[in-house]
Structure 1
Amino acid sequence: MTVNDDSFTSWKNREEIAESMIPIIGKLHREQDVTVLVHSRSLVNKSVVSILKTHRFARQIAGEELSVTETLPFLQTLTTLDLGPSQIDIGMLAAEYKADSRGLTVEEFTADAVAGATGANKIERRDGRDVVLYGFGRIGRLVARLLIEKAGSGNGLRLRAIVVRGGGEADLVKRASLLRRDSIHGQFQGTITVDEANSTIVANGNTIKVIYANDPSEVDYTAYGIENAILIDNTGKWRDREGLSKHLRPGIDKVVLTAPGKGDVPNIVHGVNHDTIKPDEQILSCASCTTNAIVPPLKAMDDEYGVLRGHVETVHSFTNDQNLLDNYHKADRRGRSAPLNMVITETGAASAVAKALPELKAPITGSSIRVPVPDVSIAILSLRLGRETTRDEVLEYLRDVSLHSPLKRQIDFTTAPDAVSMDFVGSRHASIVDAGATKVDGDNAILYLWYDNEFGYSCQVIRVVQHVSGVEYPTFPAPAV
């Protein structure tokens, strides 16, 4: 047998193992509300190849490849435990088991590591929480995909309705088609049917009412059986408390804005300040995609080194508020053709840092350049630190943050030497540290942070909604504080 034959046999063996994992992962998710992860990446509804690629990606952040032969015993053990709703990272279980010196079996170690999700400690499964999308543009459709994907056992978030303005003939069919096919993010994973007579879209069994209205005041959500719902406004038309309060109609309990909030509207970056949301707060904002990209790394760097001042330069993909061809626009430069030009524009991300991270006293400035790519941006974060350090120390610290800290769902890490923007389409993290581009000189550090300004941001929105709805489940093993 040749070396190539050995490699192929190994691949086929790992394929077989990954195939055996799929029904276990699916059953845990459907019946017990348990989401299985590998280094913060969900394995729910993933193919054999996706599971293997997720394991292999661990080498980018952990320094060595993770094999399904290592994680399978932990997954099998989970099926023997009395688990409640939770997220369990079998990649972290495997890594921590290697470092553990107690001489425990896999079964003993796993039971101890996830004890907070078992027996008397487990969270009881809750009834699902209704969600309404107000607007159905780029972010709205991606949030819809995520809500449908995460419907799971039906005990979490339930997308009940979408509110849009009427668009004329075949409006419903066209909107369903935009959900089904996306030029950047690909095909919808599942099936979509349209019931025009009842104005509904059925996606993977989820019946979604499409409500036509020109203003929030026109809708009584209880007429559609919607109660105590969280409404996600992704139009950006109203951004202050007075405007967003228009959504607090019968059937709506809370309003979440997918744009920076103005005035006293709390700007929330999940992972950083989501635990400051007051239980009775009815209106909040998820800030901007760029704010979500820079605040978690800023917090991480400030926690370890102290940040005295900083500047963020965002190189941002063009967005729908720019013109396809040169035409009038109320902004100074956004009227120029987006696919043909780099466009200097403003960003409110730097000033928004103070709202999301008030303990950071350092002045942060910012500017932005829109460039001719349809998705994925990069924030160049230049920092003056409170002490001198080295590039290797900073990279090792940020790698550890991406693996073990409470920010591991927000901060990702890549060592790929040839990484470019399209590689990060579909990333579920708020930002990805590019190790190869990082520069450190004494007390000056420059971080290059990739982010999918559409999908990664939408994932942050969902995390905030899960938190305020009470269906954000704990992760095990618990991240280091």
Structure 2
Amino acid sequence: MIPVIGRLQRQRDVTVLLHSRSLVNKSVVGILKTHRFARQIAGEELSVTETMPFLQALTTLDLGPSQIDIGMLAETYKSDDRGLGVAEFTARPVEGATGERKIERAAPRDVVLYGFGRIGRLLARLLIEKAGSGNGLRLRAVVVRKTAGQDLVKRASLLRRDSVHGQFQGTIIVDEENDTLIANGNAIRFIYSDDPATVDYTAYGINDAILVDNTGRWRDRAGLSQHLRPGVAKVVLTAPGKGDVPNIVHGVNHETIKPDERIISCASCTTNAIVPPLKAMADEFGVESGHVETVHSFTNDQNLLDNYHKSDRRGRSAPLNMVLTETGAASAVAKALPDLGAKISGSSIRVPVPDVSIAILNLRLSRGTSREEVLTHLREVSLTSPLRRQIDFTTSADAVSSDFVGSRHASIVDAGATKVDGDNAILYLWYDNEFGYSCQVVRVVQHVSGVEYPTFPAPLG
């Protein structure tokens, strides 16, 4: 399977998925573990001997750039009663990616990262990982403030080794003379600047770029407009936007982005975690009101030890305390789901773990239901709906936060913790507030860049 998946990706820009999980660059063990996820569907694993024929069938088709889910093909084939062979069956659901219907390979789109903190470095890893994979994004530059002594060497070290997310997969070469890191063959120029309004990106050969501001320093249109310099076409913010800046949660409202909109916010990690399952619940059961309580890992915004902080409580030591604080996620729901109508309140507790958080979503529904009905619905949403890249689902009885480090989903429904009593439902939603959120940001960047390739078979719903 591995060489076939590799050839499809390199030669045709086809990313092979299995229930929304990419199989590109997966090891043997990785592919087998991904197949085990199919136990969520019918209580039994999906065998590689079942999916391999569909993979072979794809190689016989005139495919264009796309993402194709062989897990969905295999599962729908089981329930098909037309008596078709695998090759004949496969051709129909992926016909939108073949022949005259296939799209052309997108030209690479330049991306600039403004800031290189926790989210910035994870975005860099994702963009480097995806280089040449058909998503059409090319990380060209990172803008940072100059620090004293071996700045580039130290930033390379932070990219290479991460205490939470592990080693960078590949090689990083430091070219101090040219202020450049070469990561897996990709040259990334470091531009030193204290003021976004002074940078001319065209001087570095960068044109029509998407700039991702991951500093959070500016959150309104006036501040973010400073980034609209020569060479930059659009600005994407990795924090909740203020004023009229659109707050986008990919999978929920990304299609509302106007083509001429130049400034976009990806909202917060918590907003991305709660909005997709909230939409899934509202679509099926209706939602009258709700409250979200987030138990959130500590962040660099807090102090390591007690010290002055402009915010209440956040000045107290992050690794030694549970810290009550506010969250803007509840109020951001209205921007992402303007038709919801339900009032959602929220609060947050920061706790002494470095990554992965959990949102407890307490909902009053429009109708009574049962725990089994809610879990069946959310399981199906995670597997076959347009939200399947946003919502994951786990039935593990002993799941804990560290199990979800590196999750690429916006949130993971904990089936075992779910509580339902008539019209009241309480969902426990795990989320990697660093990596899962960064994946959502990359999806938004792909969309606004016009290089988000279609997925086949089309999701249900």
TM-score by length of 1: 0.95
Q: What is the distance in 2 between the residues matched to 1:390 and 1:216?
A: 53
* Runs of 4+ displaced beyond 4 Å: none
Match of 2:188 in 1: 208
Contact 2:66 2:454 in 1 (8 A): yes
2:52 aligned residue (55, 72, 84): 72
Give the superposition deviation at 1:57: 2.1
Letter in 2 for 1:125: R
Match of 1:171 in 2: 151
1:26-65 aligned within 5 A:
26-65=6-45
Give the superposition deviation at 1:59: 1.2
| SS of residue in 2 equivalent to 1:158 | strand
Match of 2:303 in 1: 323
Match of 2:118 in 1: 138
Closer, same or farther: CA 316–61 of 1 in aligned 2, 3 Å = farther
Contact 1:125 1:155 in 2 (8 A): no
Larger mean CA deviation between 438-447 and 69-78 belongs to: 69-78
Match of 1:280 in 2: 260
| Per-residue CA distance 1:43-66 (angstroms, 9 max, x = gap) | 111111111111112213553211
Match of 1:445 in 2: 425
Match of 1:4 in 2: none
| SS of residue in 2 equivalent to 1:299 | helix
| SS of residue in 2 equivalent to 1:339 | helix
Contact 2:135 2:453 in 1 (8 A): no
Identity of aligned residues (%): 83
Q: What is the distance in 1 between the residues matched to 2:4 and 2:127?
A: 22
Q: What is the distance in 2 between the residues matched to 1:285 and 1:145?
A: 21
| Per-residue CA distance 1:168-217 (angstroms, 9 max, x = gap) | 21110110111111101111111111111111101111110010000101
Give the superposition deviation at 1:154: 6.7
Matched residue pairs, number?
461
The RMSD of aligned alpha carbons is: 0.8
Give the superposition deviation at 1:102: 1.0
Contact 1:61 1:413 in 2 (8 A): no
Does 1:419 find its partner at 2:399? yes
| Per-residue CA distance 1:398-421 (angstroms, 9 max, x = gap) | 000001110000000000000000
Larger mean CA deviation between 63-72 and 293-302 belongs to: 63-72
Match of 1:17 in 2: none
| Per-residue CA distance 1:255-301 (angstroms, 9 max, x = gap) | 00000000000000000000000000000000000000000001000
Contact 2:14 2:134 in 1 (8 A): no
Does 1:116 find its partner at 2:102? no
2:411 aligned residue (406, 428, 431): 431
Q: What is the distance in 1 between the residues matched to 2:98 and 2:333?
A: 38
Letter in 1 for 2:276: P
Closer, same or farther: CA 90–216 of 1 in aligned 2, 3 Å = same
| Per-residue CA distance 1:283-322 (angstroms, 9 max, x = gap) | 0000000000000001000000000000000000000000
Gaps of 5+ in 2: none
2:219 aligned residue (239, 249, 254): 239
2:371 aligned residue (384, 391, 405): 391
| SS of residue in 1 equivalent to 2:234 | strand
Contact 2:356 2:402 in 1 (8 A): yes
Q: What is the distance in 1 between the residues matched to 2:324 and 2:126?
A: 32
Contact 2:144 2:191 in 1 (8 A): yes
1:68-467 aligned within 5 A:
68-153=48-133, 156-467=136-447
Q: What is the distance in 1 between the residues matched to 2:421 and 2:36?
A: 32
Q: What is the distance in 2 between the residues matched to 1:217 and 1:276?
A: 29
Q: What is the distance in 2 between the residues matched to 1:390 and 1:323?
A: 43
Q: What is the distance in 2 between the residues matched to 1:155 and 1:363?
A: 37
Give the superposition deviation at 1:116: 0.6
